Amino acid sequence: MTDRPRGRPWRLLVTEACDGASNMAVDEALWRGRQAGGAPPTLRFFAWAPPTVSLGYGQPLAGDVDLAACAALGVGLVRRPTGGSAIYHDGPERELTYSIVATAADLGIGADLLETYHWIGRALARGLRALGAPVEMVPVAPSGGPTPAFCFARAGSYELEIGGRKVVGSAQRRQGTAFLQHGAVLLGVDAPRLAALFPTTADPLATLTTLEAALGRRPGFDEVAHALAAAFEAEHGLALEPGGLSADEAALAAALAAEKYATDAWLAGAA
């Protein structure tokens, strides 16, 4: 545990699985609230229904993901407000997604982007190790080179690997003093779907692994969420308080889902 003052308690938000537009709208509502100073820093765990591909904020729609395969398989498609590459979110049976909305001051560190990645990565690593997974944190990675279509095709600075293969993928975006970070923790994997959805990625399985592969069993969503929440408290001295959306956050999220994240313009990157 660090010697950082406990300060303001953090909210722990665990939400039901929902569609991509609703998930991204909730995170933007939380992010806006923290920017305005009226909402607490928040750690959120969530899942997706139906399974969904999320594109990075600046990622092209055409070419990186097989849109026809998404339609044929009943897979949703949404653009995140955070950067990075596309991820296939295969429901709570195979993935836990986290988001963090906070400021650097909430973390008790400087404003450098990599400092926030490192702070978050330390807690994620602690939680997964508590489950028995021998995760290792990637050192600062060199920048440059083409951005892969598939998030798990390459590990970035302070992301987590097991045996040299990526098990958690994360992306962040900042506005003002507040940031939003998303991350996907792979519990298991549907290999045929990955191949169908990312045809330009030669072998999606070559660079990733899962907790199921590491542990010899697939841990449940609730088990992983509990381990990660405990790790954030132990690693950083947080006081996580279970809570829900405020009435204002819920109303804003509903509006953002309908007027932004579910629109063709936003998905195309034109909004």
pLDDT tens readout for residues 228-245 = 999 999 999 999 999 999
Average pLDDT rounded to a whole number, residues 124-148: 88
Position with higher pLDDT, 143 vs 21: 21
Give tens-digit pLDDT for 154-183. 888 899 999 999 999 999 999 889 999 999
pLDDT of residue 225: 98
How far apart (Å, rounded) are the C-alpha atoms in residues 11 and 242?
6
Given this model, what pLDDT does residue 53 score?
97
Q: Are 232 and 123 in contact (CB under 8 A)?
A: yes
pLDDT of residue 3: 45
For 63-111, write each residue's pLDDT tens digit.
889 999 999 999 999 999 999 999 999 999 999 999 999 999 999 998 8
pTM of this structure: 0.94
CATH of domain 10-262: 3.30.930.10
Nearest alpha-carbon partner for 159 in 102, 220, 98: 98
Q: Which has the minimum average pLDDT: 1-5, 16-20, 80-84, 214-218? A: 1-5
Task: Average the pLDDT over 117-122 and give the result.
Answer: 96
The residue from 86, 124, 149, 151 that is catalytic is: 151
| Catalytic residue flag (residue 151) | yes
Name 219's Cβ contacts closer than 8 Å, sequence gap at least 6: 131, 187, 211, 212
CA angle centred on 46, ends 44 and 50, rounded to 5°: 155
